[in-house]
Amino acid sequence: EAQVTQNPRYLITVTGKKLTVTCSQNMNHEYMSWYRQDPGLGLRQIYYSMNVEVTDKGDVPEGYKVSRKEKRNFPLILESPSPNQTSLYFCASSFRAGNQPQHFGDGTRLSIL
């Protein structure tokens, strides 16, 4: 089954404690992306990756890091989380960049105390 898998689904943690949210897709997609969803703001892109070892900033990259060492994986790293990063996070992928629909994971709800 084609899918995008995120882990964990839920996490409550404290300010400053490094965390990683994993994302994996099994569709051999080149393009992967991270979004955060906040009430009234829709989804905003954090980082994206056009292919292995190619990543770039989206609209709200501050406080986040990503890596793309393998095609299937695109982890999101919060080196020193802060309360304003409390949000619902989605990973997505598509075959290529451009006018193609994206496949989304089920989301990760992060609470930073």
Partner 1 sequence: GNSVTQMEGPVTLSEEAFLTINCTYTATGYPSLFWYVQYPGEGLQLLLKATKADDKGSNKGFEATYRKETTSFHLEKGSVQVSDSAVYFCALSDGTSGSARQLTFGSGTQLTVLP
Binding site for partner 1 (CB under 8 A): 4, 31, 33, 35, 40-45, 48, 50, 56, 58, 90, 92, 94, 96-102, 104-107
Q: Closest CB to partner 1 among 43 and 77? A: 43
Nearest approach in angstroms of CB 82 to partner 1 is 23
Asked if 10 and 108 touch (Cβ cutoff 8 Å), the reply is yes
Nearest approach in angstroms of CB 71 to partner 1 is 16
Nearest approach in angstroms of CB 98 to partner 1 is 6
| Integer Cα distance of 96 and 51 in angstroms | 9
Neighbours of 33 (CB within 10 A): 23
Asked if 61 and 47 touch (Cβ cutoff 8 Å), the reply is yes
CB under 8 Å to 17, separation ≥6 — which residues?
81
Nearest approach in angstroms of CB 103 to partner 1 is 8
| Integer Cα distance of 49 and 39 in angstroms | 25
Q: Closest CB to partner 1 among 8 and 16? A: 8
The SS3 assignment for 50 reads strand
Q: Closest CB to partner 1 among 42 and 69? A: 42
Q: Closest CB to partner 1 among 63 and 107? A: 107
